[in-house]
Amino acid sequence: KKKLKISGRELLSVPTQVFGLDQLQVLEMSPERESCLRYRMELLPQEIGRLRNLTCLYVDSNNLKQIPAAIGTLSCLERLTLSNNSLSSLPAEMGALQRLHSLHLANNSLTELPAPLCQLKSLTFLDVSDNKIRTIPSSIRHLEKLETLLLLFNSLESLPEDVCLLRNLHTLWLGNNHLRSLPAAFGELVNLDWGYNYCSCNFEGNPLEDPPPEVCSRGPEGIRDYFSSLRRI
């Protein structure tokens, strides 16, 4: 088998027979989104590392509390979905997933953007919405290919200037955080679809003061002009 979907309201663990499928490429252990179900699996076993040919691993809407270090041996992995679990941390070994381009971590219990994620230079999509993240490490600048970054419903009080180096960003959602200001170079993110797709850059639900919301609505040029005028004062 190249693709396997395991389902069941009472799913508690990965059946041991799965680890013998060394040619498996896609493994799905998530309920259908429309069902609103949640499976009960709390742990991915270390044996997951035997599935060296996996390109996609879907484990949304379970009750995972930790991810084993063996995840780092899945060198072919391109897509990993771990949303709607109970994760408060991620193993450093995830930084070895250098083919990973899509990572879903929404609705967990992360309090910071894990540093290993900033080593994933192939990453183009990262969703860490609805966590408890308070800070973004400056090493985020290494995600040079990142196109979509979703940070809604966290506890961010500031953004590092390094975010402004992500020049390939097309979508950046920052809604419902605690941001009072933006980095002075924020207007350099010219690839955001300002004016064409409002949802591509979202600030709603933040107590922004610098620049104020009406300036943000003018797009990158308005933000650049705003900070330029402050430098002239």
Q: Which residue would you say has higher pLDDT here, 194 or 208?
A: 208
Distance CA 8, CA 14 (A): 11
Query: What is the pLDDT, as a whole number, of residue 189?
Result: 86
Structural domain harbouring 90: 3-231
SS3 per residue for 77-97: CCEEECCCCCCCCCCHHHHHC
Q: Is the pLDDT of residue 193 over 80?
A: no
Highest-scoring range by mean pLDDT, 32-36, 157-161, 193-197, 220-224: 157-161
Question: Could you give the number of structural domains in the chain?
Answer: 1
Determine contact, residues 83/105, Cβ cutoff 8 Å: yes
What residues have CB less than 8 Å from 46, skipping those under 6 apart? 68, 69, 70
Determine contact, residues 138/159, Cβ cutoff 8 Å: no
What residues have CB less than 8 Å from 34, skipping those under 6 apart? none
Nearest partner of 78 among 58, 97, 106, judged by Cα: 97
User: What does each C-alpha distance from 107 to 90, 111, 130, 150, 182 come to in angstroms?
Assistant: 14, 12, 5, 12, 25
pLDDT in tens, 147-190: 999 999 999 999 999 999 999 999 999 999 999 999 988 888 88
SS3 per residue for the chain: CCEEECCCCCCCCCCHHHHHCCCCCEEECCCCHHHCCCCCCCECCHHHHHCCCCCEEECCCCCCCECCHHHHHCCCCCEEECCCCCCCCCCHHHHHCCCCCEEECCCCCCCCCCHHHHHCCCCCEEECCCCCCCCCCHHHHHCCCCCEEECCCCCCCCCCHHHHHCCCCCEEECCCCCCCECCCCHHHCCCCCCCCCHHHEECCCCCCCECCHHHHCCHHHHHHHHHHHHHHC
Query: What is the pLDDT, as a whole number, of residue 65?
Result: 95
Instruction: Tell me the pTM.
Output: 0.91
Highest-scoring range by mean pLDDT, 4-8, 35-39, 149-153, 202-206: 149-153
Query: What is the pLDDT, as a whole number, of residue 191?
Result: 85
Q: Is the pLDDT of residue 198 over 70?
A: no
Query: What is the pLDDT, as a whole number, of residue 232?
Result: 64
At 136, is the pLDDT very low, low, confident or very high (cuts 50, 70, 90)? very high
Mean pLDDT of all residues belonging to the chain: 90
Nearest partner of 139 among 167, 165, 158, judged by Cα: 165
The enclosing domain of 60 has a CATH number of 3.80.10.10
pLDDT in tens, 49-90: 999 999 999 999 999 999 999 999 999 999 999 999 999 999
